[in-house]
Structure 1
Amino acid sequence: MSKIAFILILLCSLASAQEDLITEVVLKHDPKTPTEFLQALEGANLNLRTHMVANRGALNHSGGSFSIFGDVGPQLTFGIFVEPDPQGHLVLQESFDVRLLIEVITQDKKTGLHNFWELIGDGETADWHYRGNSLDVIADAQNINIGLSDTPMFGTRLRCSGCHTGGGLVMKERFPYNDWRNEETLPTGNWINSPRVAEFADHSEPASHLDELVRQSLTEYVKNLEEGSPETSKQWFRSVLAPLEMNLVSDTRPYLTRLTEESDIELPAEFFVDPRLSGPLEPVRVPVEVYRQALLELGSSFAQDETPGLEETQHAFLVPTVSRFDRLRTESLLQRGLINEELLADLLAVDYTTPLYSQERLSFMQLLPENWNTSAELQEHLESLLRSRRATDQATAQLADFILDSRFDASYHRRTATDFVERCRQRSNQVEVVKDWLRLDHDTVCLIVR
């Protein structure tokens, strides 16, 4: 038996527990580079589509850092990476340096969960590594956002848990997909695309295709988790009180276009209140001259050390919001009868002007039982606890009022949230107010990356 045949058999035996396109297609060819990997997918007559993103901002291309994310449907998605060569050409990362060459997420045919794979260079060649599946990611995240410690412990089973915290597919940027290739190619500045990268730059799909694929995949994945997740009711409930993931939203038209047209910047309403509480709301419009003046007075800029002169990202006011994953999990709790609309509104209404990562709502995790079977059971538990325990903090006292006083129903909370956004609209032409919003956006991002 040849050495190559032995290695292929060994690889397949190590991966035998998985039933996915890596074990069925890719490992049969044992590709060592992104080019060979793409050839293996195309040779299997799979419908390969690619999408291109600027890693450090669509207008900040000084470092020549881009990624290609592709798919053959929800069964397999992957990421490969672009870098500049010494001649100033953008090329695929294909050398066998000790680094990640390809990351792949597959859907396992047996479990419906995701398997995480990597192709890693070792200095001489590259080898495929199975890193774990969705349940390993869930295990890594089991002790975060529980409210038990100021320094929650994150597991170390697989690197992928850092981005795919829920164990599923992730596309952080929602429409207008700030740093992705849409209908037009991404600018590359002084870098010249190599022929292979030019194919991706010119012919990749609009980001909306990947967004739709991720949306469909997450919907199916959350359904699978309802049956296969080891999480307790309390751990699942983090999606309500302390979301596990986040998405990014922004103004819907490019900032430079706003300046040219002198049209209003549209701040996403999700920055102000949680849409699970308020329902969908129109954006808050800010006169572009007011917005720009606020940026100038704050001394704000984007990637100043890399691309001087950028006042903003491609689309203004890029802000985090509750993720699609956590919204689907909230809907699942409602559909399974583990919470009702009234109790959900009571919980989200506390510190509602901090729609994402509220420390006050996080503290409510300690009030929850580990498991419950109905929303009535949870309601009874919380009512009993709040009646018998004297509130020692304002948030718990407010929650007690909301839960124990029937005047504070879901419609009351919805009106309160929408009235707040309306007050923001009325002040959106004031530079000092917009400066406060920009500071708050900055502080929220710092909290996330801390």
Structure 2
Amino acid sequence: MVEDKEFIVKKGLYCFIVLFCMLTTFSEDVFSTCSVFHSSGKPAERTHDALGLILFSEVQCPTDVFALRQFLKNAGLKIETTMVANRGFHNPSQGSFSLFEMVLGELKIMDHHLSIHTGDFFFGHFTTVSPIGELVADQNPEKNALMIEAFAWDPKKEVFNFYELRGEGTQGQWFYRGDSVDIFADNELLHRQPDPKNPQFGTRLRCSGCHGAGGPIMKELDQPHNDWWEPKRKLNFGGHKPDAVLQDILETLVAPEQLSKSVLLGLNKLTFNEKFHQKKGSLSLQELLRPLFCPVELNLMSDIYPNDEVQSKVSIPIEFFIDSRFVADQKNQSIIISRAFYEEALNVLGSHFPETYLQDADHAWLTPVKAKSDKLAVDKLINNKIIDTKFMLDVLDIDRANPVFSPTRCSLLRLLPATLSVNWHDEFIKNLSESKEWAAKKLLKNRTSPEQNIEFYQQKARNFLNHCQEKLKNSKNVAMMYRLLVQRRMEVSTSEISLNPLGQILEPGFRVIFPENQRIIESSTLKLTSACEVIEQQDKTS
């Protein structure tokens, strides 16, 4: 009997141990915290944004986008989804689409309560075609595959934190890549390189190559949001039916205007945040004023109507011709040209959209324009009385008909003193006066001519745009202007903002945005004159 009791006790103890191990394993699987690593491979420190609270709390770790979305839904949060065709609106053959999702609501997790406002929390992921031909969310956890990219507002640091979920073979692994301040550190030498032929960038986070302003970005920020899914104009999936899981995600699709509004709210929150401004206090004066003289990010604009509507006219955004801040009182102004002239210009250069039989992108005259984030950064400088509106227009007047990628205007950045001091402007004037460059002499004249006030520049801009409207009533002038458009598209890839080896703002290879041309344009550089004529570049511009 004693032996039987001993056997029963041992058996009971064994069963208890087995049960305990099973429960422990189950508990770790269901309720374990995420392991979040820094890019260095070391464990990341706790963050206080919405995603950070989820990843660092005692909850089940979401190791793919489906688990993340389910957690957000279970937490009572609202998800809004937008979708863009990565390789062109009419090019669904590879099943390559990007989904950018926004989260908002009240997050209550453990002892934390966080209000997530519009513009606070974004995450993105991608689609592909499955072996059986269905369109699916690409959550294959193969080694180093990008499964999710996300960024969220940290109310404690008052900056955006950036994250990635990368495949590690069997599931996803979360990485904290850095924050808005780290992006500025990575781009410290942007347009200020000791050796411009060998540009240097920091390696803190891959996001620095695209999110130059440190916050959310949407290249097609303004309507008509080229290549994006619209409720009244949906994307063609090329016969690839979404599987049930992806279809569930697509149920939350909203118009791209929602993402545009969220991005702008996020940018404003970051740009006009005093705590972030204080953190930027360590930046040089050249870094602070860089968005005025040079591009940091870019946006894309186009004709308002899609090409397949075949309107008789094409509208060219004035941002192609001149910085819109010269005519801030005239919203959504454009230059109108004949579609027949435009299509003739396409034919002359043999325009074609890659991977399709189409001649053009979804919208005509798709052009890079000055980034809204760059403009907001300058607005902040004006609000803080570092510069005023006249200073801004004085600078923009240099090579004014090249509003985005002007190497002439950008070169003047180096003449600014390094430090923001009481006398920085006097030092700048001195540097301009000692320079032999024509652009420096012109800017010096602008700064010291009181008659060149805001009204002067506004009238000058209106006259210029009137010249453009008249000139483009001629088919040959439209053809030359289209050649300039092609050149400006090419300038995106040669600009320093596209030379970061970790990431480029137009994501070449992944995104297909612009049409290409069978007939190569001559190597001579074109420029737009003050009379709105396209000519070959001379040593001096007006």
User: TM-score under structure 2 normalisation?
Assistant: 0.77
> Could you say which residue in structure 1 is the equivalent of 2:210?
163
- Structure number with the higher helix fraction is 1
Structure 2 SS opposite 1:119: strand
Q: Deviations along 1:16-43, whole A, 9 cap, x unmatched?
A: 4311222322452211221111111111
Identify the match of residue 79 of structure 1 among 112, 119, 124. 124
> Could you say which residue in structure 1 is the equivalent of 2:175?
129
Displacement of 1:411 after TM fit? 2.4
**Are the equivalent residues in 2 in contact too, given 1:350–1:399 (CA < 8 A)?**
yes
Displacement of 1:160 after TM fit? 1.0
Displacement of 1:44 after TM fit? 1.1
Note if 1:219 corresponds to 2:268.
yes
**Are the equivalent residues in 1 in contact too, given 2:152–2:162 (CA < 8 A)?**
yes
Displacement of 1:78 after TM fit? 0.2
> Could you say which residue in structure 2 is the equivalent of 1:32?
63
> Could you say which residue in structure 1 is the equivalent of 2:448?
404
> Could you say which residue in structure 1 is the equivalent of 2:87?
56
Displacement of 1:203 after TM fit? 4.2
> Could you say which residue in structure 2 is the equivalent of 1:115?
161
Displacement of 1:71 after TM fit? 1.1
Identify the match of residue 194 of structure 1 among 243, 253, 257. 243
Identify the match of residue 296 of structure 2 among 218, 230, 244. 244
Identify the match of residue 317 of structure 2 among 264, 268, 279. 268
Q: Distance in 2 between matches of 1:408 and 1:149?
A: 36
Structure 2 SS opposite 1:215: helix
Q: Distance in 1 between matches of 2:410 and 2:102?
A: 36
Displacement of 1:139 after TM fit? 0.7
Q: Distance in 2 between matches of 1:378 and 1:117?
A: 38
Q: Deviations along 1:306-358, whole A, 9 cap, x unmatched?
A: 112x1221111111111111111111111111111222111110100100021
Structure 2 SS opposite 1:321: strand
Displacement of 1:75 after TM fit? 2.9
**Are the equivalent residues in 2 in contact too, given 1:242–1:358 (CA < 8 A)?**
yes
Structure 2 SS opposite 1:107: strand
Q: Deviations along 1:371-427, whole A, 9 cap, x unmatched?
A: 3356xx44433333334x1x4222122222222233333322222222121111002
> Could you say which residue in structure 2 is the equivalent of 1:100?
146
Displacement of 1:158 after TM fit? 0.8
Q: Deviations along 1:80-121, whole A, 9 cap, x unmatched?
A: 110011222110112211201011101112011011111110
C-alpha RMSD over aligned residues: 2.1
Structure 2 stretches lacking a partner, 5+ long: 1-23, 105-118, 495-542
| Residue type at the aligned position of 1:235 | E
> Could you say which residue in structure 2 is the equivalent of 1:146?
192
Cα distance change on mapping 1:436 and 1:201 into 2, 3 Å: farther
Cα distance change on mapping 1:233 and 1:386 into 2, 3 Å: closer
Displacement of 1:270 after TM fit? 0.4
Structure 2 SS opposite 1:111: coil
| Residue type at the aligned position of 1:75 | D
**Are the equivalent residues in 2 in contact too, given 1:62–1:307 (CA < 8 A)?**
no
Identify the match of residue 257 of structure 2 among 208, 222, 225. 208
| Residue type at the aligned position of 1:191 | H
Structure 1 stretches lacking a partner, 5+ long: none
Note if 1:438 corresponds to 2:489.
no
Q: Deviations along 1:182-209, whole A, 9 cap, x unmatched?
A: 2232111232222233344454010011
> Could you say which residue in structure 2 is the equivalent of 1:339?
387
Note if 1:353 corresponds to 2:392.
no
Q: Distance in 1 between matches of 2:32 and 2:147?
A: 20
**Are the equivalent residues in 2 in contact too, given 1:49–1:70 (CA < 8 A)?**
yes
> Could you say which residue in structure 2 is the equivalent of 1:395?
439
**Are the equivalent residues in 2 in contact too, given 1:146–1:238 (CA < 8 A)?**
no
Shifted more, 395-404 versus 172-181: the winner is 395-404
**Are the equivalent residues in 1 in contact too, given 2:29–2:60 (CA < 8 A)?**
no
Shifted more, 392-401 versus 269-278: the winner is 392-401
Displacement of 1:15 after TM fit? 4.2
**Are the equivalent residues in 1 in contact too, given 2:44–2:176 (CA < 8 A)?**
yes
Q: Distance in 2 between matches of 1:380 and 1:6?
A: 62
| Residue type at the aligned position of 1:299 | G
Cα distance change on mapping 1:200 and 1:291 into 2, 3 Å: farther
Aligned length: 440
Higher Cα Rg, which structure? 2
Cα distance change on mapping 1:33 and 1:10 into 2, 3 Å: closer
Q: Distance in 1 between matches of 2:168 and 2:204?
A: 21
Q: Distance in 2 between matches of 1:157 and 1:15?
A: 13
Structure 1 SS opposite 2:351: coil
Percentage of identical aligned residues: 29
Displacement of 1:7 after TM fit? 6.1
User: TM-score under structure 1 normalisation?
Assistant: 0.92
Structure 2 SS opposite 1:143: coil
Structure 1 SS opposite 2:482: helix
> Could you say which residue in structure 1 is the equivalent of 2:326?
277
Q: Deviations along 1:207-239, whole A, 9 cap, x unmatched?
A: 011110111111110022323224233201011
**Are the equivalent residues in 1 in contact too, given 2:193–2:200 (CA < 8 A)?**
no
